């Protein structure tokens, strides 16, 4: 993995074997970025995609493997009052299953790079987005304080 800051934006190139979500959080921690928005594309080998089940308050996880084109990745990084970083990411992947072309998408738990991934990380300027726990859903949402 390598990254550079140009202006306020961080451009990240990830390499084979890198885990995308953890790497983004590591860069935010290292660069002291408490909240940001990111997007990206790339070629991946594995993605853990989750669907939130409101009736149980839990996530169902599906792992897909193979040559995955990361068609779209978009997400946010926010902080809580204890200085922890949280991510909320959605992704779309295309892949082949035999002769069929398939697409899988949803909330992202983790992604492993096969060839490369290119991520643009845009820190929030002039403020900070916090995480506020919502007991009704059991998840955290953006809070502007």
**Whether the predicted pLDDT of 140 surpasses 80:** no
Tell me how crowded residue 89 is: count the other CB atoms within 10 A of its CB: 22
Is this structure's pTM higher than 0.75? yes
pLDDT digits over 11-23, tens only? 999 999 999 999 9
pLDDT digits over 5-49, tens only? 999 999 999 999 999 999 999 999 999 999 999 999 999 999 999
- pLDDT of 131: 87
- Say which residue, 42 or 137, is predicted with more confidence: 42
Start-to-end C-alpha separation, the chain: 34
- pLDDT of 57: 77
* Alpha carbon 71 to its chain's center: 13
The answer to whether residues 108 and 89 touch, using CB atoms and an 8 Å cutoff, is yes
Domain 2-143 sits in CATH at 3.30.1330.80
> Which range scores top for mean pLDDT: 54-68, 73-87, 100-114?
100-114
CA 130/CA 135 separation, integer angstroms: 16
The answer to whether residues 61 and 54 touch, using CB atoms and an 8 Å cutoff, is no
User: What are phi and psi for residue 102, nearest 5 degrees?
Assistant: -125, 160
pLDDT digits over 107-118, tens only? 999 999 999 999
DSSP 8-state class, residue 20: H
The answer to whether residues 40 and 89 touch, using CB atoms and an 8 Å cutoff, is no
What share of the chain has pLDDT > 90, as a percent? 77
CA 44/CA 42 separation, integer angstroms: 6
Q: What is the dihedral of CA 91, 92, 98, 101, to 10 degrees?
A: 180
The contacts of residue 100 (CB under 8 Å, 6+ apart) are none
- pLDDT of 71: 97
**Whether the predicted pLDDT of 99 surpasses 80:** yes
């Amino acid at each position: 993995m390598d990254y550079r800051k140009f202006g306020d934006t961080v451009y990240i190139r990830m390499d084979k074997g890198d885990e995308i979500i953890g790497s983004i959080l590591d860069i935010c921690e290292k660069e002291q970025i408490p909240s940001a928005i990111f997007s990206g594309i790339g070629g991946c080998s594995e993605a853990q995609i989750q669907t939130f089940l409101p009736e149980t308050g839990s996530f169902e996880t599906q792992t897909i493997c193979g040559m995955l084109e990361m068609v779209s990745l978009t997400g946010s990084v926010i902080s809580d009052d204890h200085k922890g970083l949280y991510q909320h990411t959605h992704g779309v992947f295309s892949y082949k299953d035999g002769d069929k072309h398939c697409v899988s998408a949803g909330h992202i738990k983790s992604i492993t790079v096969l060839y490369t991934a290119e991520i643009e990380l845009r820190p929030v300027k002039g403020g900070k987005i916090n995480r506020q726990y919502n007991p009704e859903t059991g998840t955290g949402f953006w809070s502007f304080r």
